[in-house]
Amino acid sequence: MFQIKICGITTTEDGEQAARAGADAIGLNFYPGSPRFVSASQAREIGEVVGEDVVKVGVFVNADVDTIQDLAEQIGLDIIQLHGDEPPRTLRSLSDHRVVKAFRCRDAGFQPVLDFVTACHELGQLPDAVLLDAHAPGKYGGTGLCIDWPAVRAARPAIKNIPIVLAGGLTAENVDRAIAEARPTAVDAAGGVESRPGRKDPDKIRRFVANAQAAFRRVNAQPY
């Protein structure tokens, strides 16, 4: 897995900045409806620049399995992130890959996450992690909205202690508190480290990564 992911990388320069700052994963977005969309050729160039030590996560929204597998092979993706409305059986079709399943959480809580995990248990194919993002109608991530961090921490046992990636409105200014309150396995930032949609701000990335690293060190030194 990874601990700090900078998602929506669209240029080699931004990829270099994320790697240099100490992020251990980047997200490459293959959803055409996103301002952070990248082509296969762009993704390959970014992957070559960041190198093998940085985890490359391919972000897909309701894409067909053949497309996902083809891009994963072309680019050398380390993890597949399903960020749409994919059913549990999609994980079985991608059993050769590590998969993170993303959920856009509404005010009603985490019941859809729990239902999905239960169905995965029945299929014998669990996700390697779940990503919890904020819900905004018609948007698949990058909303700038935060979810209920203490509720994430409380939901961990019900989610069968599957690793949790916390997303949604994270910035250098709030990631410390988010980690302390939610106790996630990892954090994921996109819009919170940008100068404009699709382009990262080097200073925001550096401060986000440094603050997240410090927060994880503090949390890991404390009992749960």
Beta strand pairing call for 186-189 and 194-196:
unpaired
The pair of three-digit structure tokens given for residue 26, joined into one six-digit string: 């980047």
105 catalytic residue (yes or no): no
* HSE-up of residue 55 (Cα within 13 Å, Cβ side): 21
78 catalytic residue (yes or no): no
User: What's the longest Cα–Cα distance across the chain?
Assistant: 45
The interaxial angle of helices 12-21 and 40-50, nearest 10 deg, is 30
What's the distance, Cα to Cα, between the start and end of the chain in Å? Answer: 20
| Catalytic one of 133, 146, 148, 188 | 133
**Residue 75: exposure state from Cβ atoms within 10 A (0-12, 13-18, ≥19):** buried
β-strand partners of 81: 59, 100
CA 138 to chain centre: 18
**List of long-range contacts for 32-35, beta carbons under 8 Å, 24+ apart:** 33/61, 33/140, 34/8, 34/61, 34/140, 34/141, 34/142, 35/142, 35/197, 35/198
Beta strand pairing call for 194-196 and 98-105:
unpaired
State the catalytic residues. Answer: 7, 133
